[in-house]
């Protein structure tokens, strides 16, 4: 007979596996229309997400073996290995594709092999009757597991660093187009993998059936929360522009910061604190290029590219825009909104899609988001 604690442990694990299967099934079968026709663009990590949640099927035998010491060890090993590794896979799959970087793929693919080998070895040993992981083999087995866990944690931290770096580069002080990177989605979703790894490792180190029960229930809740947040696409390029061939899948990618040197000659002669006269001069140059020459029509206009266009040191340019114009993002997008208003009057028969794209917005949704934010 099972004790109450063991029955609760079985029930909690069953809930976790069931939730994982539901999440995998929904992510596989449900994609909002018309985005489903381009699932790899609008849902970059959907295949990786399905595979990661299906891997929890490996935990099924533990439901029927709550009294087996090896089964509990197997669950602890899976949590400490799988959580950072699978979270890293999902984050790299989504944000790596959004940023159009591929350096992560070969290391991740290589690290799948030891993960599968360790998981299958532990599962087989758990299922063999009258055996127990002990002695020298136990020492080596869990030593390797510990090393792998640290490697997978490093992968997870690299993924987090990639996202944090992208969020800084695509901040409102540097970039003008919210289509370039789903920054708001990243800010809203990033805490889920952090909590997932924290809960998994904490419950693993505690190691009691009670702590494991609570841990997998929390992981179930995080899985549902993640699914809800990821159901809708967070890349806003309109389907029509993709299907018309105007843009190819994956075309909206990271625009790296230019590696051109700052204008050293100007820096040598300007004071670190700009005079009001110099600020007035820089402000006039900015308005000339952005407003009169309509640089804002470039949907991927950045502070760095504007700095080169104006011939002004990027730091000074940012200082003047922040002080005089309310910040780069706000300034450029207010110009775009004004352009939309003019085109609506000049071209009353044009569609809203034609007007917003002709005004420098990457998509209609981007226009609506900016208008809601600034007006």
Residues of the chain with pLDDT under 70: 1, 130-135, 137, 236-272
Domains in the chain: boundaries:
4-239, 268-374
pLDDT at 264: 38
Q: Say which residue the tokens 């947040």 belong to.
A: 229
pLDDT in tens, 60-72: 999 988 888 888 8
pLDDT in tens, 189-235: 999 999 999 999 999 999 888 999 999 999 999 999 999 988 888 87
pLDDT at 235: 72
β-bridge partners, 302: 175
The per-residue DSSP string of 74-117 comes to HHHHHHHHHHHHHHHHHHIIIIIHHTT--TTHHHHHHHHHHHHH
Quote the CA–CA distance of 87 and 84 in Å, as a whole number: 5
* Under 8 Å between Cβ of 193 and 86: no
Q: Which fold has domain 4-239?
A: Rhopdopsin 7-helix transmembrane proteins (1.20.1070)
Q: At what angle do helices 314-325 and 303-310 cross, to 10 degrees?
A: 110
pLDDT at 15: 97
Rg (CA), the chain: 26
Burial of 335 per CB tally in 10 Å (0-12, 13-18, 19+):
buried
pLDDT at 102: 87
CA angle 61, 132, 129 (to 5 degrees): 55
pLDDT at 198: 97
Phi–psi pair at 211, nearest 5 degrees: -65, -40
Phi–psi pair at 302, nearest 5 degrees: -120, 165
Quote the CA–CA distance of 92 and 253 in Å, as a whole number: 14
CATH no., domain 268-374: 1.10.10.60
- Tokens found for residue 40: 């790899």
268-374 shares the fold of 4-239: no
The contacts of residue 306 (CB under 8 Å, 6+ apart) are 286, 289, 290, 295, 317, 328
């Amino acid at each position: 007979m099972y004790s109450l604690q063991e029955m609760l442990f079985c029930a909690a694990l069953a809930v976790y596996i069931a939730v994982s299967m539901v999440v995998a099934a929904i992510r596989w079968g449900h994609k909002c229309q018309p985005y489903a026709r381009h699932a790899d663009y609008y849902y970059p990590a959907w295949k990786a997400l399905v595979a990661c949640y299906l891997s929890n099927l490996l935990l099924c035998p533990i439901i029927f073996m709550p009294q087996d010491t090896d089964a509990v060890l197997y669950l602890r090993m899976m949590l400490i290995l799988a959580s950072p590794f699978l979270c890293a896979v999902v984050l790299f799959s989504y944000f790596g594709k959004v940023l159009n970087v591929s350096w992560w793929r070969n290391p991740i693919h290589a690290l799948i092999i030891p993960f599968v080998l360790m998981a299958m070895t532990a599962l087989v040993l758990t299922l063999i009757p009258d055996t127990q992981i002990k002695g020298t083999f136990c020492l080596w087995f869990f030593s390797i597991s510990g090393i792998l866990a640290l490697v997978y944690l490093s992968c997870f931290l690299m993924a987090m660093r990639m996202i944090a770096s992208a969020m800084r580069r695509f901040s409102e002080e540097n970039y003008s187009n919210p289509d370039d990177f789903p920054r708001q989605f990243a800010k809203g979703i990033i805490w889920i993998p952090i909590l997932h790894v924290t809960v998994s490792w904490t419950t693993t180190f505690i190691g009691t059936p009670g702590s494991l029960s609570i841990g997998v229930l929390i992981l179930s809740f995080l899985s549902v929360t993640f699914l809800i947040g990821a159901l809708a696409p967070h890349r806003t390029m309109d389907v029509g522009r993709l299907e018309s061939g105007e843009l190819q899948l994956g075309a909206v990618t990271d625009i790296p910061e230019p590696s051109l040197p700052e204008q050293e000659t100007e820096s040598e002669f300007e004071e670190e604190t700009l005079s009001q006269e110099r600020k007035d001069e820089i402000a006039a140059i900015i308005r000339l290029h952005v407003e009169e020459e309509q640089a804002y029509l470039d949907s991927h206009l950045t502070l760095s590219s504007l700095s080169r266009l104006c011939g002004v040191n990027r730091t000074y340019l940012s200082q003047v825009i922040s002080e005089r114009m309310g910040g780069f993002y706000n300034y450029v997008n207010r110009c775009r909104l004004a352009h939309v208003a003019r085109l609506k009057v000049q071209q009353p028969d044009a569609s809203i899609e034609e007007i917003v794209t002709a005004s420098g917005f990457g998509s209609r949704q981007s226009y609506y988001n900016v208008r809601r934010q600034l007006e």
